[in-house]
């Protein structure tokens, strides 16, 4: 779905087709149902940005298509640098439709750079090591956002993708909690769905709610941590800047954090839409089970790779001991 979207002759695909493909992607990402309207708080342009810019690294098809057409633009006269900048639509039927689409991309490049010389510099920068890099052109065409550093704390093979997405939306404060619904005028009373006492905001729901505290305290005891954070931003910042952030215990902590946010969010939605309630102890066991399975799966994969390289590698002994340690809980 996210491969080349330019037609073989270089024609720009119609916007209706691109919008239709984007809609299918949006419906899948937001889990939109045909007969129900979905309320979202994160724009699609933001979602299509890289993870280090508060996005989810999904390609924006219109910008990707323009990047591919920019490659055709370069191929027109790549032996004569800058000659493509002299192309002009002129008379409407002067060029075939495919070339007109390429010239439109050229006009956008010159309009954004402000001059022909700056446009030539921009296009030339996309040609590296004897090859036109479409990724560099796409990075130029796409929308950009403010950089963030905490995205590294939610990366790792042990973290499930759905847990990653939920935790990232919580860090961005984009989950549709009661506080945001009130700001849209959809709800009048702000009460936490889990504890029924305080106002439901991101910080309270995942860290200061009585229900969430019971789950978090159980995980802190399970991981033998000295303290427990009361804020998601503080926890993510510690994970990013900690000296031992690449140690397996920190991967364990990352996996627990992402899984806890995801399961608490599921519990909150389950109470609202289906009336199902799960006790904190039961939810804690669910989180521990999924974390153990994910960590053991990653360690088992590492063991297989080590067996093919050095069967008696000292790291293999460490992995085996870690697997036994996790299995003992």
Alpha-carbon torsion 221, 212, 260, 246, what sign?
A: negative
Instruction: With CA atoms as reference, report the closest residue to 289 among 322, 326, 254, 262.
Output: 326
Q: What is the dihedral of CA 244, 249, 252, 257, to 10 degrees?
A: -50
Residue 316 has pLDDT above 70, yes or no: no
3-state DSSP call for residue 24?
helix
Backbone angles phi, psi at 203, to 5 degrees: -60, -40
Residue 178 has pLDDT above 50, yes or no: yes
Q: How far is CA 71 from the centre of its chain?
A: 27
Q: What is the dihedral of CA 153, 242, 288, 303, to 10 degrees?
A: 90
Radius of gyration for the alpha carbons in the chain, expressed in angstroms and rounded: 25
Strand partners, 131: 128
Per-residue pLDDT of 190-245, as tens digits, reads 888 888 888 888 888 898 899 999 998 898 888 887 766 777 878 887 777 776 65
Asked if residues 162 and 262 have their Cβ atoms less than 8 Å apart, the reply is yes
User: Per-domain residue ranges for the chain?
Assistant: 15-141, 150-327
**239-249 burial code (b ≥16 CB/10 A, e <16):** beeeeeeeebe
Question: Taking each helix axis from N to C terminus, what angle separates 314-327 and 280-309, rounded to the nearest 10 degrees?
Answer: 160
Per-residue pLDDT of 97-126, as tens digits, reads 567 777 788 888 888 888 888 888 888 889
128: which DSSP letter? E
Q: Which pLDDT score is estimated for 88?
A: 56
Backbone angles phi, psi at 93, to 5 degrees: -100, 25
In percent, the amount of the chain with pLDDT more than 90 equals: 13
Higher-pLDDT residue of 74 and 267 is 267
Q: Which pLDDT score is estimated for 9?
A: 41
pTM above the 0.85 mark? no
34: which DSSP letter? T
- The alpha-helical segments, DSSP class H, found in the chain are 15-30, 44-47, 61-76, 97-113, 116-125, 134-141, 161-171, 178-183, 202-203, 210-223, 232-241, 248-273, 280-309, 314-327
List the structure tokens of 121.
Answer: 């510099």
13: which DSSP letter? P
CA distance 45 to 145: 9
Q: Which pLDDT score is estimated for 287?
A: 93
DSSP assignment of 215-275, as one string? HHHHHHHHHT-S---S-HHHHHHHHHH-TTTTSHHHHHHHHHHHHHHHHHHHHHHHHHHT-
Instruction: With CA atoms as reference, report the closest residue to 295 among 173, 157, 113.
Output: 157
List the structure tokens of 274.
Answer: 């289906």
| Distance separating the N- and C-terminal Cα atoms of the chain | 42
Strand partners, 128: 131
């Amino acid at each position: 779905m996210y491969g080349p979207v330019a037609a073989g002759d270089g024609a720009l695909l119609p916007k209706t087709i691109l919008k239709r493909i984007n809609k299918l992607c949006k419906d899948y990402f937001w889990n939109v149902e045909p007969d129900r309207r979905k309320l979202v708080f994160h724009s699609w342009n933001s979602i299509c940005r890289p993870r280090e810019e508060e996005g989810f690294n999904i390609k924006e098809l219109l910008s990707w298509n323009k990047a591919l057409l920019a490659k055709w633009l370069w191929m027109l006269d790549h032996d004569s640098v800058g000659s493509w900048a002299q192309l002009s639509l002129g008379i409407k039927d002067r060029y075939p439709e495919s070339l007109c689409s390429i010239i439109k991309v050229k006009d956008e490049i010159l309009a954004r750079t402000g001059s022909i010389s700056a446009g030539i510099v921009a296009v030339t920068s996309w040609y590296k090591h004897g090859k036109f890099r479409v990724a560099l052109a796409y990075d130029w065409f796409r929308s950009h956002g403010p950089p963030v550093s905490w995205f590294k704390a939610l990366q790792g093979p042990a973290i499930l993708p759905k847990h990653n997405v939920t935790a990232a939306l919580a860090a961005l404060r984009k989950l549709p909690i009661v506080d945001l619904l009130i700001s849209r005028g959809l709800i009048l009373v702000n009460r936490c769905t889990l504890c029924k006492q305080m106002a439901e905001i991101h910080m309270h729901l995942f860290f200061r709610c009585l229900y969430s505290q019971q789950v978090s305290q159980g995980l802190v005891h399970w991981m033998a941590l000295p303290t427990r954070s009361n804020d998601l931003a503080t926890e993510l910042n510690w994970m990013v800047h900690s000296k031992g952030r690449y140690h397996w215990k920190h991967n364990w902590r990352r996996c627990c954090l992402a899984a806890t946010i995801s399961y608490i969010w599921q519990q909150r939605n389950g109470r609202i839409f289906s009336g199902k309630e799960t006790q904190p102890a039961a939810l804690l066991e669910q989180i521990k089970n999924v974390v153990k399975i994910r960590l053991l799966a990653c360690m088992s994969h590492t063991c297989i790779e080590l067996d093919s390289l050095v069967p008696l590698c000292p790291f293999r002994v460490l992995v085996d001991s870690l697997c036994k340690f996790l299995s003992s809980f």
